[in-house]
Amino acid sequence: MGIPCVLSLIYREPDFLPLAISVAVTLLGGYLIERFCSRAKDEEIRHREAFAIVSLGWVVVAFFGTIPFLLAGTFSSFIDAYFETMSGFTTTGATVLTNIESQPHGILFWRNFTQWLGGMGIIVLGIAILPKLAVGGRQLLAAESPGPSPERLRPRIAETAKTMWGIYLLFSFSEVILLKLAGLPLFDSFIHMFSTMSTGGFSSHTSNIGFFDRARVETIITFFMFLAGGNFALYYYLLKGNPRALFKDSEFRFYSFVVIAAII
């Protein structure tokens, strides 16, 4: 939520205070959860607990994610705000927001940022950056990662999570650069990168990418959506100089066939 706060200052829009309060409330909530719900460092997380943590994690994260929408007046109903946030974090793409263009830049950024975070998974991000989650991280990684069970790419689970997020970041910033070169404003480039890499579909415009009416933009977004729908473990091997792993994988071949058949 810190980045949307900065955007609200840059664009001089009235959503800075709601976003700043949201940051404070979320930090306080995170501290209280860490303070009263932490467990012994060497205590292993079992499979059932891992799935429970992931399930409850989405509920709690979505709750805090609604705060900016409510305080900024984007939604007057908690149900609508929670629906929009949960749709973002789960990359569902459903929305109840009708007046998209009238929203401040900070709120639009936060709305799409929820999709980007959910694209690879908040719990996977947690495993990558929080050492305590590395204990029992294999169960959490299996419970949270999109698609089939992720391969252990590195010796440690935390390193595997970092590798997956590293590839995610590489693709994300590559798309931003290409969209900017294609003529999109930097803000819109980030907004639509968030939606593309998560395959969620939120936009800063009611007509989505049709608003820009540019074939280059649609081509770039289509290409990265295709990448985002694949198995990131395969991209690791591709970047390591082993492209055969990509084409030997039956899942990727079937995925490619379905996409090509649908286009034809």
Rg value, the chain, Cα: 19
pLDDT score for 42: 55
CA–CA separation, 233 and 231 (whole Å): 5
The pLDDT assigned to 39 comes to 56
**What is the per-residue pLDDT for 175?**
96
| Beta carbons within 8 Å of 1's beta carbon, 6+ residues apart | 19, 22, 23, 26, 68, 110
The answer to whether residue 120 is domain-embedded is yes
d(CA 63, CA 154): 33
Amino acid 155: pLDDT:
52
**Inside any domain, residue 183:** yes
| Structural domain range at position 14 | 2-229
* pLDDT of the chain, 264 residues: tens digit per residue: 788 999 999 999 888 999 999 999 989 988 887 777 665 555 566 666 666 766 777 788 889 999 999 999 999 999 999 999 999 998 888 999 988 999 999 999 999 999 998 887 755 655 554 555 444 445 545 544 554 444 555 556 667 777 888 889 999 999 999 999 999 999 999 999 999 998 888 999 998 999 998 999 999 999 999 998 888 888 888 888 888 888 888 888 999 999 999 988
* 173 within domain boundaries: yes
Q: What is the pLDDT of residue 187?
A: 95
User: Is residue 216 one of the residues assigned to a domain?
Assistant: yes
Cα–Cα distance measured from residue 243 to residue 235, given in angstroms and rounded to the nearest whole number:
8
**Residue 199 corresponds to which tokens in the numbers above?**
């395959």
Structural domain includes residue 43 = yes
Instruction: Return the pLDDT at 144.
Output: 46
The total domain count for the chain is 1
The distance in angstroms from the start CA to the end CA of the chain is 41
So what's the pLDDT on residue 40? 52
- Looking at the domain assignment, is residue 224 inside a domain? yes
Contacts of 97 (CB under 8 A, 6+ apart): 74, 75, 84, 103, 111
- Whether 142 maps to a domain, the answer reads yes
Question: Which residue, 258, 48, 13, 247, is CA-closest to 140?
Answer: 48
Alpha carbon 113 to its chain centroid, in Å, reads: 6
